[in-house]
């Protein structure tokens, strides 16, 4: 679970709710655990994140613009910029990240804290779906494989 969200409190809450009868229950538990995170838990989760990056073959100017925007964001808010791009086509991701950075740099600290927490919840959901999908459907309840 720590691969989905690096908050130990979140992962413990998820483990305490096992077994999950289906993916919907798993995602609902993830949301609930995410909404209950204290600022220190969110900071812990953010410490496990890395900033969105460009493909190595992207134009040099795009790399520079993104690095500058990330640096400005981290200087202003004290943590890495996170954004969930699950509904964004790969060809639009660079523009989405840069637009998100520009928009969110205008936020005050409280507003950005709320947006960041929501992006972390969305990222956890996407990662859970990826893990479950990678494991393959077995028709049974989602349980600890041990």
Query: In the 3-class helix/strand/coil scheme, how is the chain assigned residue by residue?
Result: CCCCCCCHHHHHHHHHCCCECCHHHHHHHHHHHHHCCCHHHHHHHHHCCCCCCCCCCCCHHHHHHHHHHHHHHHHHHCCCCCCCCCCCCHHHHHHHHHHHHHHHHCCCHHHHHHHHHHHHHHHHHHHHHHHHHHHCCCCCCECCCC
What is residue 143's predicted lDDT score, i.e. its pLDDT?
A: 44
What is residue 18's predicted lDDT score, i.e. its pLDDT?
A: 92
Q: What is the mean pLDDT of residues 121-143?
A: 77
Answer yes or no: is pLDDT of 140 > 70.
no
Question: What gap in Å lies between CA 115 and CA 117, rounded to an integer?
Answer: 5
Answer yes or no: is pLDDT of 85 > 80.
yes
What is residue 54's predicted lDDT score, i.e. its pLDDT?
A: 80
List, for residues 17-63, the tens digit of each pLDDT value.
Answer: 999 999 999 999 999 999 999 999 999 999 999 888 887 888 888 88
Q: What confidence tier does 141 reach under pLDDT thresholds 50, 70, 90?
A: very low
pTM: 0.85
Angle at 23 between CA 5 and CA 122, to 5 degrees: 35
């Amino acid at each position: 679970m720590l691969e989905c969200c690096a908050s130990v409190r979140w992962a413990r809450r998820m483990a305490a709710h096992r077994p999950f009868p289906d993916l919907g229950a798993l995602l609902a538990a993830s949301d609930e655990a995410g909404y209950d995170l204290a600022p220190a838990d969110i900071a812990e989760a953010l410490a496990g994140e890395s900033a969105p990056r460009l493909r190595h073959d992207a134009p040099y100017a795009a790399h520079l613009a993104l690095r500058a925007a990330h640096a400005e964001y981290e200087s202003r808010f004290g943590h890495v910029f996170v954004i969930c791009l699950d509904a964004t086509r790969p060809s639009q991701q660079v523009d989405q990240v840069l637009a998100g950075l520009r928009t969110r740099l205008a936020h005050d600290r409280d507003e950005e804290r709320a947006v960041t927490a929501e992006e972390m919840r969305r990222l956890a959901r996407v990662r859970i779906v990826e893990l479950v999908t990678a494991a393959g459907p077995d028709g049974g309840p989602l349980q600890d494989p041990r």
